[in-house]
Amino acid sequence: MGVHLTLLGTGTSQGVPVIACDCPVCTSKDARDQRLRASALFEVDGEHAAEGPKTFVVDTGPDFRQQMLRREVKSLDAVLFTHEHKDHVAGLDDIRAFNFRQKRDMDVYASMRVQEALHREFQYVFDANPYPGIPRVRLHDLDGGPLTIEGVEVVPLPARHYKLPVLGFRIGPISYITDANALDPETWARLEGTEILVLNALRKEKHISHFNLEEALHVIDRISPRSAYLTHISHLLGPHADVSTELPDGVFLGEDGLRLSAS
């Protein structure tokens, strides 16, 4: 089974550059320092070429439309939500394009708490008498263990974003965790054998709800993947070119559009 993960966005809730900021990162001409809000696209090769890959997007933030257009995503099987913060859910309305193209409701997987937030934030989507043309979604519970979506095993990775429970996801040998500063006990076991790990590293200074660079490197060292990529990066971490030279072997800064593959 070939599994691919594209980093659709590797920035924080403000993105990079930050509005009205004149720091060296926000004024950098290096395209790698331009980061949309954090999101990722899993693609899993089908058993037969005619089937095409199964595609799952992790989070639909404010840049979701731009990310889908930039990656030229033509089909989407499901949406997986890590948590309910605006920089991870705000673009849900734009799944309408896939409703129209695929002529079906979009399968959306989220914890019950996140589902309640979606009902609040997108009340019109769930109205008993919906307005014509609204997004059509079919909600599924993510409060349990591993599950199968379109024939693909998806393993939730429970973590903590300060006091807020959040989820990462593993498909095959690739694991993706963003917006976390602690992993739940069962997640360490679920990460065993991970070949490619994508993990958030907000900045160098300690933060109340995100791994900083030192903490992220400690997690990576414990999991010992073949390679690791950092995401949810703020302008405070430093320029891509400079930070890249400080990282240990096998650890890299993620960048928007980067596609990772394992089998």
Backbone angles phi, psi at 145, to 5 degrees: -90, -155
What's the pLDDT tens digit per position in 147-180?
999 999 999 999 999 999 999 999 999 999 999 9
Q: Are 44 and 171 in contact (CB under 8 A)?
A: yes
- Taking the C-alpha atoms of residue 220 and residue 73, their distance in angstroms, rounded to an integer, is 30
The sign of the dihedral angle between the CA atoms of 39, 83, 90, 215 is: negative
What's the pLDDT tens digit per position in 76-85?
999 999 999 9
The model's pTM is 0.97
Instruction: Tell which residue, 172, 210, 191, 156, has the closest CA to residue 38.
Output: 210
Q: For the chain, what are the domain ranges?
A: 3-262
- Residue with the larger pLDDT of the pair 48 and 213: 213
* CATH class held by domain 3-262: alpha beta
- Taking the C-alpha atoms of residue 48 and residue 139, their distance in angstroms, rounded to an integer, is 28
Instruction: Tell which residue, 17, 51, 9, has the closest CA to residue 34.
Output: 17
At 48, the pLDDT band (50, 70, 90 cuts) reads low
Q: Is the peptide bond before 17 cis (omega within 30 degrees of 0)?
A: yes
